[in-house]
């Protein structure tokens, strides 16, 4: 599911390939007989509706410009047939001859279109128009998706989003999108049937809040949508649980950022801390675009405080597109240095500092350690990387088998990179982003490291590959893998037992380095329940 040539996240051929990857994986669920058949088809219809409208508005004119008459005719013919089949699927029920026949034909047609686009039309378009023009077409393609016909939506930033367009395209696609939007509990969830029931409940709760897909929003619009924390809070309310998890104290400090300004450093303390407590420097995720320390990462920090007895600090670094790479990395490095220099002022021990983070926070954790080591500065004693970004490339099998996953799917990953690296294409090869490109000498600078990955996550393969490379370079490395879990699950311990287990694994990693049992104690979870794998030189990875 990867184009045979280099693309950037904002390129139109890159975005088209992402769309096909999502739909192809949903087809595979249907063929395997797993998941919710009706919901999968409705989700496919929604994806294809967005895609088809954007293709007509942006790709067709580009084909006309380059004289790709045959490609244009074939694309129109396939799209018209797809619209007919989508309309038939709307009117039929799963299992009926009409439904199954239309679905079989739709899958065959979409796959034929994909093969044609990969092998012929898109490479030709790139050759004739050049990389810069395809990047511009990518922006237009994304903008067209935002304008695609859809039903009125309570969270739409602009009520004008619900546009009707004239012609044969509008009616069947608008019907499909309206139907999908109307199934409020399902459009934004994971319909694969592969998730743990508690993980499924979280994503179903998120979908019921009716967020617009982040990957078709502007950054500002995406930040206004309900996120993972709201989903967990909804499940907690349904279960009669209160939150957030209490800690001794929470204080916000203003410290220097990496550009001569200031940033907020939030300090979480356990009960009874006075002096010389170990410190965990935790870095939040969000693709360098979404989320802040006020979002669901607050729950991660609170869990780590109570499981380790350590002080946890986290920086509210600058985000893209307002501040593109390397702004976030610079702020995190500045915040870590400030923490080492000032740990005693808030009761911390500068000789016992661990580091870690989630998603791009995991990336910035390792990048910070590398920069500190290369500068000859003091190192953290341990590191925890939770589903980390370790390359800007579309790496490994998880880019296909989790392409449709929620809350992070393949189009959203590209959307984040598009904003974070805007006008900075060289960022993809920078060692602060491309951790998989590190030499053994660079890898060997890492402290003892735990890498946490999960099944339904496009970042799974690259996180596991980084763990393998760390081990091969002689770093004390452990990996915890959680089947049935999804990206952003780590902070959901209040309602997801695997998140509780992941936090316990992270706590044990830090406690071992701090030389203490902490609040969690050595027997924090029952024997045999840990998901942790030890990557040892003498044997393949296995259950610890």
Calpha distance 145→143 (Å, rounded):
5
Contact 454, 387 (CB under 8 A): yes
DSSP 8-state symbol, 117:
I
Calpha distance 437→108 (Å, rounded):
38
C-alpha distances in Å from residue 199, one per residue of 146, 388, 499: 29, 19, 9
Nearest residue to 52 via CA among 220, 167, 187: 167
Quickly count helices (H) and strands (E) in the chain.
19, 10
Helices (H), 211-359: 219-223, 228-239, 297-308, 327-342
Q: What is the CA radius of gyration of the chain?
A: 24
C-alpha distances in Å from residue 246, one per residue of 180, 230, 249, 310: 39, 18, 8, 14
DSSP for 20-68, please give it.
HHHHHHHHHHHHHT-S-HHHHHHHHHHHHHHHHHHIIIIIHHHHHHHT-
Calpha distance 488→403 (Å, rounded):
15
- Two structure tokens written together for 542: 């296995």
Q: Which residue of the set 174, 487, 505, 531 is catalytic? A: 487
Contact 353, 381 (CB under 8 A): yes
DSSP for 70-96, please give it.
HHHHHHHHHHHHHHHHHHHHHHS-TTS
Determine how β-strand 449-456 pairs with β-strand 348-358. Answer: unpaired
Contact 466, 389 (CB under 8 A): no
Nearest residue to 283 via CA among 296, 275, 274, 293: 293
294 is catalytic: no
Q: Which residue of the set 121, 359, 365, 461 is catalytic? A: 359
**470, 362, 371, 466: CA torsion to nearest 10:** 20
359 is catalytic: yes
> Across the strands, what pairs with 268?
250, 312
Calpha distance 323→428 (Å, rounded):
16
345 is catalytic: no
> Across the strands, what pairs with 267?
251, 313
Contact 497, 421 (CB under 8 A): no
Q: Which residue of the set 457, 461, 480, 505 is catalytic? A: 457
368: helix, strand or coil: helix
**530, 451, 362, 189: CA torsion to nearest 10:** -60
**178, 182, 187, 193: CA torsion to nearest 10:** -120
**Which active-site residues does the annotation give?**
359, 457, 487
């Amino acid at each position: 599911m990867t184009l045979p040539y280099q693309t950037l996240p904002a390129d139109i051929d890159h975005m088209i390939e992402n769309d096909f990857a999502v739909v192809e994986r949903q087809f595979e669920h249907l063929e395997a007989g797993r998941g919710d058949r009706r919901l999968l088809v409705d989700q496919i219809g929604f994806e294809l509706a967005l895609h088809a409208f954007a293709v007509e508005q942006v790709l067709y004119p580009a084909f006309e410009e380059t004289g790709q008459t045959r490609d244009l005719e074939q694309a129109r013919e396939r799209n018209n047939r797809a619209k007919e089949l989508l309309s038939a699927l709307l009117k039929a029920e799963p299992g009926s001859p009409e439904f199954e026949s239309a679905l079989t034909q739709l899958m065959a047609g979409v796959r034929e279109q994909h093969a044609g686009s990969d092998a012929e039309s898109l490479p030709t378009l790139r050759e004739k128009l050049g990389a810069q023009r395809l990047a511009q077409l990518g922006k237009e393609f994304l903008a067209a998706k935002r304008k695609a016909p859809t039903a009125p939506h309570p969270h739409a930033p602009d009520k004008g989003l619900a546009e009707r367009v004239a012609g044969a395209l509008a009616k069947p696609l608008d019907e499909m999108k309206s139907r999908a939007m109307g199934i409020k509990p399902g459009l934004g969830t994971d319909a694969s049937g592969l998730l743990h029931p508690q993980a499924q409940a979280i994503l179903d709760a998120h979908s019921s809040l009716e967020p617009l897909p982040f990957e078709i929003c502007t950054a500002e619009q995406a930040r206004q949508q309900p996120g993972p924390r709201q989903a967990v809070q909804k499940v907690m309310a349904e279960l009669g649980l209160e939150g957030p998890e209490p800690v001794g104290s929470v204080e916000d400090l203003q410290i220097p950022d990496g550009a001569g300004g200031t940033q907020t450093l939030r300090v979480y303390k356990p009960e009874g801390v006075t002096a010389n407590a170990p410190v965990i420097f935790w870095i939040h995720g969000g693709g360098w675009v979404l989320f802040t320390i006020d979002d669901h990462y607050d729950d991660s920090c609170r869990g780590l405080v109570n499981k380790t007895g350590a002080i946890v600090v986290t920086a509210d670094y600058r985000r893209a597109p307002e501040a593109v790479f390397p702004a976030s990395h610079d702020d995190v490095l500045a915040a870590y240095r400030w923490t080492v220099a000032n740990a005693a002022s808030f009761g911390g021990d500068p000789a016992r500092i661990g580091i870690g983070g989630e998603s791009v926070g995991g990336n910035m954790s390792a990048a910070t350690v590398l920069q500190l080591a290369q500068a000859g500065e003091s190192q953290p004693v341990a590191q925890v990387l939770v589903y980390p970004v370790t390359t800007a490339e579309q790496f490994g099998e998880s880019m296909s088998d989790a392409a449709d996953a929620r809350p992070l799917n393949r189009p959203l990953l590209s959307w984040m990179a598009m904003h974070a690296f805007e006008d900075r294409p060289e960022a993809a090869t920078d060692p602060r982003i491309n951790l998989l490109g590190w030499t053994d000498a660079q890898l060997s600078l890492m402290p003892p490291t735990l890498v946490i990955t999960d099944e339904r996550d496009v970042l799974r393969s690259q996180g596991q590959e980084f763990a393998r490379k760390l081990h091969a370079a002689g770093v004390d490395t452990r990996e915890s893998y959680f089947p049935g879990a999804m990206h952003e699950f780590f902070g959901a311990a209040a309602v997801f037992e695997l998140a509780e287990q992941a936090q316990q694994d992270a706590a044990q990693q830090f406690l071992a380095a701090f030389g203490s049992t902490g609040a969690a104690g050595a027997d924090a979870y029952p024997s045999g329940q840990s998901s942790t794998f030890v990557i040892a030189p003498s044997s393949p990875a296995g259950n610890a």
